[in-house]
Amino acid sequence: MKNPEKISERFGINFDFHMGMAALILGSLNTFIFLSIWAHWGVQVSGIITYVGLGMVPLLIGVGLLRRGRLRKAKFTKKLLQDTVRRIAFRSGGRIKPLDLVNTLGYTSQKALQLLRELAAEDPENIELKLDYDTGEIYFEFQDILKSIEANKSFEESRRDPRTWVEPQVETKKRGKTGMEVWGYGSRGDSGKLTPPRPHTPPLPHPLTSTLPYSHTSGSGFPQLYPFEFDTLTVDPRGKVKGYRRGQGYFFLEDLGNGITLEMVAIPEGTFWMGSPNKEPGRLSEESPQHLVSVAPFFIGKFTVTQAQWQAIAALPPINRPLDPEPSRFRGADRPVEQVSWYDCQEFCARLSLKTGRTYRLPSEAEWEYACRAGTMTPFHVGYTLTTDLANYNGLEPYGEGPVGEYRKETTPVGSFGIANAFGLYDMHGNVWEWCADPWHEDYQNAPSDKQVWESDGNDAYRVLRGGSWNSYAWYCRSACRDRYQPHVRHASNGFRVAVSFIQTSS
């Protein structure tokens, strides 16, 4: 049986559209007639008054009806989408995963997650984010649907008054569209009180073993560390999302002035296999031999340095060389800065260090790969392939069994894909190549077993870059892939992120 409410709403939308178009046509026709009359007979006051009634008024009515129709259509479409999501949740026992929308509606993983976020933000008392502690997957739980199912109500019955089946809740702080509370920071027990969630940090895969140095924060010369949450996911070899995880990390904020900040994420100590295994598709000899490296705790930028951050530091007095405040080819305050040389990055770090009293620097190549992998041993931190739904690169040539994707031909704002690795770092694959401190070595023979910059026997005429960029094919974006450039070269593919040691050697 058809829903009368939907039929009525569709009729109203069609009425607004057709009547609006008719009014626009009538107004345009009358305007043409009056312009023709004025061109031959001249403009009269009475003619202007008549035109306002017969020409201007229909045009304004037409514009108003079309605008109202567009707004009604957007609202109606959103309501239909919400109804579809609720149907999926009802069939799944009141719980829905982002992957369900990917499989059912054909959404990208990013779009599915964003839709569920928006629904949770609009109805935070009813829709809660939950975490399956056995699998590490996140899902959204609809409290009203759960009550309806418990009461043996059908989906149609649950839609009549969905809030009827929700127990009264105590008032809490209003939750906005962003922030941890939207994500279910706490759940309601039988008493109706808000209780804190069970602590959970997703386990990192072998061979990474680590502990975060939070207990050493006091007296280390760093600001207070704050927790933050982030989304991670994994894909199968064909690029389909296998599952989501909700992770937690710690960071401190560096104030650059004028409301511009730099987010520095704490990276735990640990060990990892640096380089690529022999059977990894697309690997080169310069990525071998694989070797075990121990990494001390450090901090690294959550994102690559943005153009706003670059301009803030470029405005400071020079130390060794001048800096162009606007060097980038693709302009945007929240886009990564590019067309900066290795020497420019060193100057940026020197000025930032002088401003903050902390020794900022480029990460070593070992630190960068450790931070990128975040405990994984697959070609990418998301799995065995990469898709352009998750990173900005040239998707016209897929990696492995992955799909052909988009080629955007420019950088994207940092963090815009919404997916981090297990350390909470964004855009480690693609967007811009990232300068590292090390000189170039042809392979890893005699490489150090710690995170230090590998200076000995290196070719100082070239410096290392990692991560791939917006115009790289996927295999260049692998965690183990290495590239090199002369340190004075400025290229629209090259940017950087900064690091700082946990134990400061200078102030």
CATH number, domain with residue 385: 3.90.1580.10
The string of pLDDT tens digits covering residues 464-495 is 999 999 999 999 999 999 999 999 999 999 99
The pair of three-digit structure tokens given for residue 177, joined into one six-digit string: 């569209």
The pair of three-digit structure tokens given for residue 327, joined into one six-digit string: 């060097």
Q: How confident is the model at residue 81 (pLDDT cuts 50, 70, 90)?
A: confident
- Strands across the sheet containing 138-142: 95-96, 138-142, 127-131
SS3 content of the chain, % helix, strand, coil (to 5): 35, 20, 45
Domain range for 343 is 214-501
Assigned domain for 207 exists: no
Residue 464 CA to residue 440 CA, distance in Å, equals 6
Look at residue 187 and tell me whether its pLDDT is greater than 60: no
Helix (H) or strand (E) holding 187: strand 187-188
Helix pair 109-122, 98-105: axis angle to 10 deg: 120
The string of pLDDT tens digits covering residues 1-29 is 455 565 666 777 777 778 878 877 877 88
- Residue whose structure tokens are 């927790």: 227
Residue 470 CA to residue 464 CA, distance in Å, equals 18
Look at residue 203 and tell me whether its pLDDT is greater than 50: no
Q: Are residue 73 and residue 101 in the same domain, yes or no? A: no
Q: Are residue 29 and residue 145 in the same domain, yes or no? A: no
- Give the end of a domain, one of 44, 78, 112: 78
The pLDDT value given to residue 123: 77
The pLDDT value given to residue 244: 87
Cβ proximity of 210 and 204 under 8 Å? yes
Q: Are residue 149 and residue 264 in the same domain, yes or no? A: no
Instruction: Name the least confident of 27-36, 236-245, 342-351.
Output: 27-36
Report the 10 Å Cβ neighbour count for 307: 24
Q: How confident is the model at residue 55 (pLDDT cuts 50, 70, 90)?
A: low
Cβ proximity of 496 and 309 under 8 Å? no
Q: Are residue 155 and residue 270 in the same domain, yes or no? A: no
3-state secondary structure of 451: coil
Residue 238 CA to residue 385 CA, distance in Å, equals 7
The pLDDT value given to residue 371: 97
Residue 222 CA to residue 256 CA, distance in Å, equals 15
The string of pLDDT tens digits covering residues 325-340 is 999 999 999 999 999 9
The pLDDT value given to residue 53: 66
Quick one: DSSP state of residue 184? T
Q: Are residue 155 and residue 259 in the same domain, yes or no? A: no
pLDDT above 90 coverage of the chain, percent:
51
Q: Write the burial class of residue 363 (CB in 10 Å: 0-12 exposed, 13-18 middle, 19+ buried).
A: buried
3-state secondary structure of 243: strand
Q: Are residue 427 and residue 288 in the same domain, yes or no? A: yes
Most confident of 95-104, 188-197, 281-290, 406-415: 406-415
Q: How confident is the model at residue 504 (pLDDT cuts 50, 70, 90)?
A: low
Assigned domain for 170 exists: no
Instruction: Name the least confident of 133-147, 208-222, 240-254, 276-290.
Output: 208-222
Mean pLDDT calculated for residue range 68-96: 78
Residue 363 CA to residue 425 CA, distance in Å, equals 14
The pLDDT value given to residue 213: 44
Q: Are residue 69 and residue 21 in the same domain, yes or no? A: yes
Q: Are residue 19 and residue 122 in the same domain, yes or no? A: no
Cβ proximity of 420 and 232 under 8 Å? yes
Answering whether pTM is above 0.85, one says no
Assigned domain for 193 exists: no
**Buried residues in 227-243 as b, exposed as e (16+ CB within 10 A):** ebebbbbbbeeebbbeb
Assigned domain for 197 exists: no
Q: Are residue 103 and residue 23 in the same domain, yes or no? A: no
Domain count, the chain: 3
Q: Are residue 61 and residue 135 in the same domain, yes or no? A: no
Assigned domain for 507 exists: no
CA atoms within 13 A on the CB side of 482: 26
Look at residue 164 and tell me whether its pLDDT is greater than 50: no
Assigned domain for 202 exists: no
Assigned domain for 139 exists: yes
Q: Are residue 37 and residue 145 in the same domain, yes or no? A: no
- Kindly report the three-state secondary structure assignment for every residue of 188-239: ECCCCCEECCCCCCCCCCCCCCCCCCHHHCCCCCCCCCEEEEEEEEEECCCC
The pLDDT value given to residue 308: 97
Assigned domain for 358 exists: yes
Direct distance between the N- and C-terminal alpha carbons of the chain, in angstroms, rounded to an integer: 74
The string of pLDDT tens digits covering residues 433-460 is 999 999 999 999 999 988 789 988 889 9
Q: Write the burial class of residue 259 (CB in 10 Å: 0-12 exposed, 13-18 middle, 19+ buried).
A: exposed
- Work out the angle at residue 368's Cα, subtended by the Cα atoms of residues 367 and 374, and round it to the nearest 5 degrees: 90
Q: Are residue 271 and residue 218 in the same domain, yes or no? A: yes
- What distances in angstroms separate CA 94 from CA 18, 129, 327, one per listed residue? 40, 12, 51
Q: Write the burial class of residue 53 (CB in 10 Å: 0-12 exposed, 13-18 middle, 19+ buried).
A: exposed
The pLDDT value given to residue 118: 78
